[in-house]
A and B are shown apart, each in its own frame.
Chain A
Amino acid sequence: MSLLQQTLAVLRKDLLLDWRAQGRTTAVLLFGLTTLLLFSFAAGGRGSSGRDLAGGFLWLALLLASTLALAESFRVEVEDEALEGLVLLPVRPAALYFGKALGNTGFLLAMSAVLAPVTIGLFGATVRGSYLQLIAFLVLGIAGLAGPGTLHAAITARARGRDVLLPLLLFPLIVPVLVAAVSGTTLVLQGDPMGRATTWLAVLAIFDGLYWSACGLLFGKVVDA
């Protein structure tokens, strides 16, 4: 089987598992929604400051939700030592990584399909720019979270103190994604007179390319340990 076929097989397995056990989906979604509500209580809802900060709140909610989602995605592998079983199959570690990472990206994108409209509604923002760009930012930004996140989730899933380790390791890494995604999303929401959003998309694309390749290469070492 080629790398692509193996990746898709892993992805299909994960999607099936998700479909059958919908607890994770609901829990993470509720968590994201609650976080947004908390932001609006704590930092001010409607009004111009709310509109300016809407992009930031959305991405923070997605980031926090992603730590839950990422940790869960490997918990199922650690139970009954399923991960070791996967490694014994003739599946290339890179395919394992890409399949998992794609699954996590898809999951978070589904979350964002609910969270983004809620954010816009909660904070009284409007999408003045292009919807296509907004979707592009969501896709590339979430990929930037899920990419390194999947690698670190694999590492920390088998560590003691895993709940605190994953955010600790992940958050410094995704600062570029956060900056680029928030800047870009805010530009799209407020209209983008100088067309700067595409620069941020490029930044996200480069980051995603770098990290998905690096993590794909390193994943094999991690699951063997």
Chain B
Amino acid sequence: MSAAYLSLLGVLIPLLALAGLGLLASKFKAWGSRQEAALLAIALLCLVTGLTAGLFATPPETKMREVMRILYVHVPTAWNALVFATVALIAAIGSLSNKRRSWDATNTAAIEVGLVFVVMLLIQGSIWGKATWDSFWEWDPRLTTTAIMGVSFAGVLSLRSFADGGDRKRVWTAVASIIAYIDVPIVYFVVDLAPGIHQERSSPGTVSDEFHWPLRAVAFGLLFLGSWLVLKRGRLELLTTEAEAEAPAADGPALVAGGE
């Protein structure tokens, strides 16, 4: 495949995926289990091919040898964490402007999936850091921003669990999500400016061609898997909030008339 064709695919497929995710936000109730199973199957296919290739078929990197293979999970995890944070933002705005519960469910699900990805990211990065920098943590803009992002997401979920009543849950989750999202680029920008703080830049922007396609495969795999998770988690959230809304009626007196 020529490089131009691959680049075109590299732009088209993410755009299509994002458009599809946009549809998910309010339409997932209509999705049947067959479409979801297909999504999961494609996700797993991408992940297996990408990771296997990354682990066994690509050459080891010059300086870091095998340790560099962490790249194949690390970079896609980072991309996807930001994607799902964005999905959460869109859902949060939708949730505030249109009270339909599916927006709120998507908001919560995306924040939670995003949090899972951020935790994964921090652990992978920490392991990689131990291998190359000989320390589990450094005060680098990217690391700090990611940690802040993780705490913000956990905070949103915490807030949600303390909210009483469906409407408060919806509004508080949405507002907190929006504020958290604004915060992340600001934190990155500010910490980047901070003078005198020890900085270690590591940008995987300059990666040679052999590494590209496993990277992309895993990225899409995680994207589809994450979307499948958002679907499932969103549906769970819908069921849970509906059950809570109906709960008072469920605890009623005994059904048997002359029973007492």
Evaluate contact between A168 and B175: CB separation under 8 angstroms.
no
Evaluate contact between B148 and A155: CB separation under 8 angstroms.
no
Stretch from B41-49, B185-193, B238-246 that touches the partner? B185-193
- Say yes or no: A172-B180 contact (C-beta < 8 A), given A156-B159, A196-B195: yes
Interface set, chain A 179-199, CB cutoff 8 A to B? 179-180, 183, 196, 199
Evaluate contact between B186 and A165: CB separation under 8 angstroms.
no
- Name the residue among B170, B175, B191 with the largest chain A CB count within 10 angstroms: B175
- Say yes or no: A179-B194 contact (C-beta < 8 A), given A148-B179, A214-B179, A218-B175: yes
Q: Please, which residues of chain A bring their CB within 8 A of the CB of B194?
A: 179, 183
| Band of interface residues on A | 20 to 34
- Say yes or no: A173-B179 contact (C-beta < 8 A), given A165-B158, A179-B190: yes
- Say yes or no: A161-B172 contact (C-beta < 8 A), given A173-B179, A175-B190, A179-B194: no
Evaluate contact between B190 and A218: CB separation under 8 angstroms.
no
Q: Please, which residues of chain B bring their CB within 8 A of the CB of A169?
A: 152, 155-156, 158-159, 176
Contact pattern, A 194-225, Cβ under 8 Å of B = 1, otherwise 0: 00100100010001001100110010011011
Evaluate contact between B191 and A179: CB separation under 8 angstroms.
yes
Q: For residue A174, which residue of chain B has the nearest CB?
A: B183
Contact pattern, A 63-103, Cβ under 8 Å of B = 1, otherwise 0: 00000000000000000000000000000000000000000
Q: Please, which residues of chain A bring their CB within 8 A of the CB of B183?
A: 172-173, 175-176
Evaluate contact between B171 and A168: CB separation under 8 angstroms.
no
Stretch from B60-68, B128-136, B160-168 that touches the partner? B160-168
Evaluate contact between A176 and B186: CB separation under 8 angstroms.
yes
Q: How far is the CA of A152 from the CA of B187 in the complex (A)?
A: 18
Q: How far is the CA of A116 from the CA of B151 in the complex (A)?
A: 30
List 28 A-B residue pairs with CB atoms under 8 Å apart, sorted by A's residue number: A148-B179, A151-B175, A152-B176, A155-B159, A155-B172, A156-B162, A159-B159, A159-B162, A159-B164, A165-B162, A169-B152, A169-B156, A169-B159, A172-B180, A173-B179, A175-B191, A176-B183, A176-B189, A176-B191, A183-B194, A199-B193, A214-B182, A218-B175, A221-B96, A222-B171, A224-B171, A225-B168, A225-B172
B: residues with CB less than 8 A from A are 96, 144, 148-149, 151-152, 154-156, 158-159, 162-164, 167-168, 170-172, 174-176, 178-180, 182-183, 186-187, 189-191, 193-195
The 5 A-B pairs at the shortest CB distance, nearest first, are namely: A225-B171, A176-B190, A159-B162, A172-B152, A225-B168
